[in-house]
Amino acid sequence: MINYKDLGLVNTREMFAKAIKGGYAIPAYNFNNMEQMQAIIQACVETKSPVILQVSAGARKYANPTLLRYMAQGAVEYAKELGCPNPQIVLHLDHGADFDICKSCVDMGFSSVMIDGSSLPYEENVAVTKKVVEYAHKYDVTVEGELGVLAGVEDDVAAEESHYTKPEEVQDFVKKTGVDSLAISIGTSHGRCKFKPEQCTRNADGVLIPPPLAFDVLAEIEKKLPGFPIVLHGSSSVPQEFVKMVNQYGGNMPDAVGIPEEQLRKAAKLAVCKINIDSDIRLAMTGNIRKYFAEHPDHFDPRQYLKPARQAVKDMVAHKILHVLGSDGKA
């Protein structure tokens, strides 16, 4: 049993309380390798932002859970070395599918876990979430639950259509489970194509303009749970500069569309205090790696082509902190 506090990590409790009071959101970035972790930490130290480093089931399969945990421990020391004396870093399990994976993460030093029972019948979601909370809270690990279904791919859970969170369920769910935060569905979705073209309009340049998020549902939820931390998954903005870069240098990503930054900013000022981003990191890296290969066909050292990719992720993370989430200066 390893306690996250011994690794210099923190849970989400105080972070979320401050974010709600201050009208900003904490960035939650998925990471799978060293370059992504370096970029995220460098940007967070430079902007003095707290951060949630999150690990998905896919990341665990790709990189090995133990290595990822040591990388997060390394991130704390790395942040100190970069000049942040008291790093505010959470190591979070993203989309925990069952009690066992949540328990295993608590036991190996994670400071926060998500139990994603959103695809289960309501009472089963309540039961498994409650069980995870009871275990995690013994070690002061915070727990995120989810109500409502996001369209797109949620790790191993694929949903054709979204079902907005029902505001009438949230109070009962939070009361029965004891969760520390709640992920909701108000129109965001995972991946790089968040809306079908027929759900969008197009601007003069043919770029897709997505429909707005359901801020009325968010307002209803906030009314039922005043001051309670709300989480948005599937919140990449899918920057068109990276989509263009991918397509220009041999990729094929038609109709990629994300959540506009102004809508995330608006959500961050309301009850949303954690915003999940993964796809934008993938796009920034892939666009830049494709460009690098096209411009340097003779290069073969991964350090050469990963360097601009890492820089692009760092710049993007800093931009989001400063101009979208508002978490700069809060660490």
56 binding ligand G3H? (CB under 6 A):
yes
Q: Residue type for 85, please?
A: P
d(CA 92, CA 111): 6
Q: Two tokens at 265?
A: 């900013």
CB of 295 to ligand 13P, least distance (A): 27
Smallest gap from Cβ 95 to ligand 13P, in A, equals 6
Positions 71 through 130 that interact with ligand G3H (CB under 6 A): 94-95
**Would you put residue 248 in left (φ > 0), alpha (ψ -120 to 50) or beta?**
alpha
Q: How far is the CB of 290 from ligand 13P (least distance, A)?
A: 19
30 belongs to the binding site for ligand 13P (CB under 6 A): yes
Given the structure tokens 């994300």, which residue do they identify? 258
Residue 190 binds to ligand G3H (criterion: CB under 6 A) = yes
Among residues 42, 236, 263, 288, the one that binds ligand 13P under rule CB under 6 A:
236
**Closest residue to Zn ion, Cβ-based?**
233
Cα dihedral: 194, 200, 205, 206 (round 10): 80
Give the residue with the Cβ less far from ligand 13P, 128 or 277: 277
The answer to whether residues 179 and 49 touch, using CB atoms and an 8 Å cutoff, is no
Residue 278 Cβ vs ligand G3H, minimum distance, rounded to whole Å: 4
Q: Are 25 and 189 in contact (CB under 8 A)?
A: no
The residue among 57 and 322 lying less far from Zn ion, judged by its C-beta, is 57
| DSSP secondary structure of 275-301 | EEE-HHHHHHHHHHHHHHHHH-TT---
Element (H, E) at 90: strand 89-96
Q: Which residue is nearest to ligand G3H (CB)?
A: 58
Identity of the residue, 44 or 59, whose beta carbon is nearer to ligand G3H in the bound complex: 59
Q: How far apart are CA 257 and CA 209, in angstroms?
A: 8
Binds ligand 13P by CB under 6 A, chosen from 191, 210, 229, 326: 191
Element (H, E) at 142: strand 142-147
Residue in 144, 180, 278, 280 binding ligand G3H, rule: CB under 6 A: 278
The span from the first CA to the last CA of the chain, in angstroms, equals: 28
210 contacts ligand 13P (rule: CB under 6 A):
no
181 close to 142: Cβ distance less than 8 angstroms: yes
Told to check if 155 binds ligand G3H by CB under 6 A, we report yes
Asked whether position 233 contacts ligand 13P by CB under 6 A, the answer is yes
235 binds, among Zn ion, ligand 13P, ligand G3H, none (CB under 5 to 8 A by kind): ligand 13P
**How distant, in Å, are the alpha carbons of 89, 141, 161, 226, 276 from that of 134?**
23, 10, 32, 23, 25
- Find the radius of gyration of the CA atoms of the chain: 19
279 binds ligand 13P (CB under 6 A): yes
| Contact region with ligand G3H (CB under 6 A), list: 21-29, 57-65, 197-205, 239-247 | 57-65
94 among known catalytic residues: yes
Query: Which tokens belong to 82?
Result: 């970069």
Least distance to ligand G3H, CB of residue 300, Å = 27
| CB neighbours of residue 157 within 10 Å | 15
Q: Binds 213, which of ligand 13P, ligand G3H, Zn ion, none (CB < 5 to 8 A, cut-off by type)?
A: none
Q: Kindly state whether residue 42 participates in binding ligand 13P, applying the rule CB under 6 A.
A: no
Query: Minimum distance from CB of 94 to ligand G3H (Å)?
Result: 6
Catalytic residues: 94
Q: Residue numbers of the site for ligand G3H (CB under 6 A)?
A: 30, 56-59, 94-95, 154-155, 190, 278
